[in-house]
Structure 1
Amino acid sequence: MVVDFFLSDQPEVPSEFALVRVSRRAMATRFEVAIPVGTHHDPVAAAEDALDLIDELEAQLTVYRDDSEVSQLNQTAADGFVEVESHLFALLSRCAGWTKETGGAFDIATGALTKAWGFFRREPSVPTQPARNEAMRASGTRHVLLDPARLAVKFRVRGLELNFGAVGKGYALDRAAELLRVKWGVRSALLHAGGSSAFAIGFPPGDTRGWPIDLQHPYEANASLGTLYLRDAGLGTSAATFQFFEYKGQKLGHLLDPRRGWPASGTASTSVIAPTAAEADAMSTAAFVLGASGAESLTRLRPALGAVVLPDESTRLMSLPGRKGEKSESAPRSSPASDVPCSPFDSERGGQSGLLAFNIAPGAFSPTAHVDHSQ
């Protein structure tokens, strides 16, 4: 049995692996909770409760509703400190830490940039230089002040907007998984949000490696890069190959480099395993911006992370394991994939053609035998 992010019908599997799957639309994607049959007394009620919580979190985090807590914060925080709900403040604090750790490659305070490029309304175009300069002036977590004693937030510049699009789905999955574990006693489940985020509780019956998840090929809708086994951890995937526009012969994707105010390039897709889905989302975004050598640095800085990276227009499957225990001060500011020395997977490990793997445990990832993504 392999559960992939893009499967709409229950796969043909042995009865002991059959799943109760409950799904719902939220955050512009399909959230699903899958619980193995026979492992819980009321899996449907548990899944529905988790999805209800995700609906509540969408209402809080969305920037597409003027009455959401985040939209209200964006409208008023430049005038003074605004108290926010405790979980939201904790998320803001974590995001600020991830921005620092990634050298600014991940940053939620980039709503102005997203709007300047037209991605907010899905009408992308290259902004004028003055418009981009103004958006850069009003972007960056360095302009966000956090008061832990009051759980309050203030913006130091007008026009700054928070946007949790890069981390919200993973955060919602973490909260839903916590509810399933604590309130409902669920010990085995897979939660996912479309093709970008997942969290695994335990493992499916009979397979202690974890939940098998197919990583979608960024260029081919029905192709897989390989199978990753996830257990009590989160997974985040970032790719811009299906959301882009062309400009002067270039494909410009929706994932922006917050440091330059320009779409990130040089990477086709990144998938990161982390202790939580929110962190996996944040770090996959940062790894996409930083490139393959940046992903390696992140796994050195945080040994709990693992990463699978497909450099743009790469044609060989490579392996460069992260070296646990090594530390680096910060992720590199720029890191073209071609700068990374790599060696191919050997035939005994299986696989060829296209990926880089950092700090992935042996047996935790099975690449596809052949990947062809020439454009």
Structure 2
Amino acid sequence: MQLDIKLLSKNTIAIALLLFCFISNAQTLRKRTTMLMGGRFDITIVAKDSLSAEQNIDSVISEITRIENLISDWKPTSQVSEVNKNAGIRPVKVDPEVFQLTQRALHLSEITNGAFDISFAAMDKLWKFNGSMTEMPSAEAIQKSVEKVGYKNIILDSVQSTIFLKLKGMKIGFGALGEGYATDKCRNMMIAQGIKAGIVNATGDMSTWGMQPNGKPWNIGITNPFRPDKISKIIHLKQGAVTTSGSYEKFVVFDGKRYSHIINPSTGYPSTGLCSVTVLGPNAETANGLSTSIMVLGKKNGIELINKYPDYGFLMITDKGKIIKSKKFGSLKK
């Protein structure tokens, strides 16, 4: 009888140990949607339990809010707004984080000859993409709309950590580049805190890491620009970033030619030729800068640009529906 009790105890311990291992390895997926930085953020966290997942989503939201309060040009108390208020007056000291983000943006402006330019924020809202436009703006009006735009008039002082806009009326704004930066920061923060998987998605610009609770990679759908309610491609990511720039929601058509809401900041004219550009790579900030630049540069010059970044791949869809993709994109496709 004593032997039977001992065997029963060992079996109970074994079962308890198995249950503990199962519980300790169980993963819970939680998702939350919120509006930040002027757009929609979908935050997905995989953690050991619901409480931990929700707490980490709170941490992500707090980090995005912190970044928004630093760089959002529509926040009157942000450092970027202070820079804009003092355009043509004086340099403004900013945090190293804001200074370095501006440095990276200006580097992108230099290598794209102004196809990417954070001073686009000063551009007059001449083009309307709400269905109200009935004719092209005049060449004179378009030229006037970019008078205060020009990255070469953004002066950085790395010693003093200041930003100075030379012309009165100039403005800078990070837009989706800032959202991509925020998703990267949040992903790195979560990894540092031991969260093994998740997605931070800023209106389609997303940073991913880890795997789904079922052990499979994340499924990322690429919108069909001609049928926005349909998915054109599905890619599978473990850790990386994907961003899409496109004209499938906001565009106008004049004389049979499609004009995107993405404006060339150096000319004032909308981009043409490409309906969407998806870029894959290690981080969302760079991917967003590249996808936006390629939309402006067009197919040939866009491919030349992204070929300088071997860690990034692309998928372009032309306004004729033709798909052009890099080998790297193909290697990530199902």
Q: Above 0.5 in TM-score?
A: yes
Query: Does the aligned pair in 1 maintain the 2:71–2:79 contact within 8 Å?
Result: yes
Query: Does the aligned pair in 1 maintain the 2:43–2:57 contact within 8 Å?
Result: yes
Q: What SS is found at the alignment partner of 2:221? A: strand
Amino acid at match of 2:326: F
1:88 is matched with which residue?
Answer: 98
Amino acid at match of 1:271: T
Q: Structure 1 length as normaliser, TM-score?
A: 0.75
Indicate whether 1:300 and 2:277 are aligned.
no
Indicate whether 1:235 and 2:235 are aligned.
no
2:149 is matched with which residue?
Answer: 139
2:76 is matched with which residue?
Answer: 66
Greater gyration radius = 2
- Per the TM alignment, residue 170 of structure 1 is displaced from its structure 2 partner at its CA by 0.6
Percent of aligned pairs sharing the same letter: 24
Amino acid at match of 1:260: T
1:340 is matched with which residue?
Answer: none
Query: Does the aligned pair in 2 maintain the 1:298–1:305 contact within 8 Å?
Result: no
CA distance in 1, matches of 2:215, 2:282: 20
Indicate whether 1:55 and 2:62 are aligned.
no
Q: 1:189 aligns with which of 194, 198, 201?
A: 198
- Per the TM alignment, residue 162 of structure 1 is displaced from its structure 2 partner at its CA by 0.8
Query: Does the aligned pair in 2 maintain the 1:299–1:359 contact within 8 Å?
Result: no
Q: Rate the CA distance shift 1:174–1:122 in 2: closer, same or farther, 3 A.
A: farther
Query: Does the aligned pair in 1 maintain the 2:124–2:146 contact within 8 Å?
Result: no
Query: Does the aligned pair in 2 maintain the 1:305–1:359 contact within 8 Å?
Result: no
Q: What SS is found at the alignment partner of 1:171? A: helix
The gaps in structure 2 that reach 5 residues or longer are: 1-25
Q: Give 1:34-183 correspondences, 5 Å limit.
A: 34-36=44-46, 38=48, 42-117=52-127, 127-182=137-192
The structure that is helix-richer by fraction is 2
Runs of 4+ in 1 over 6 A off after TM superposition: 121-125
Once the two structures are superposed, residues 275-295 of structure 1 have per-residue CA deviations (whole angstroms, 9 ceiling, x without a partner) of 211111110001111222233
Q: Rate the CA distance shift 1:21–1:306 in 2: closer, same or farther, 3 A.
A: same
Query: Does the aligned pair in 2 maintain the 1:102–1:298 contact within 8 Å?
Result: yes
CA distance in 2, matches of 1:278, 1:40: 29
Q: Structure 2 length as normaliser, TM-score?
A: 0.83
Indicate whether 1:220 and 2:227 are aligned.
yes
Q: 2:278 aligns with which of 255, 271, 276?
A: 271
Amino acid at match of 1:311: T
Q: What SS is found at the alignment partner of 1:199? A: strand
1:4 is matched with which residue?
Answer: none
Q: What SS is found at the alignment partner of 1:35? A: strand
Q: Rate the CA distance shift 1:169–1:180 in 2: closer, same or farther, 3 A.
A: same
Amino acid at match of 1:75: K
The gaps in structure 1 that reach 5 residues or longer are: 1-15, 315-353, 367-375
Q: Give 1:247-266 correspondences, 5 Å limit.
A: 247=254, 250-266=257-273
CA distance in 2, matches of 1:51, 1:103: 35
CA distance in 2, matches of 1:207, 1:306: 25
2:7 is matched with which residue?
Answer: none
After superposition, the CA RMSD in angstroms is 2.7
Amino acid at match of 2:200: L
1:201 is matched with which residue?
Answer: 209
Query: Does the aligned pair in 2 maintain the 1:295–1:358 contact within 8 Å?
Result: no
2:8 is matched with which residue?
Answer: none
Query: Does the aligned pair in 1 maintain the 2:45–2:56 contact within 8 Å?
Result: no
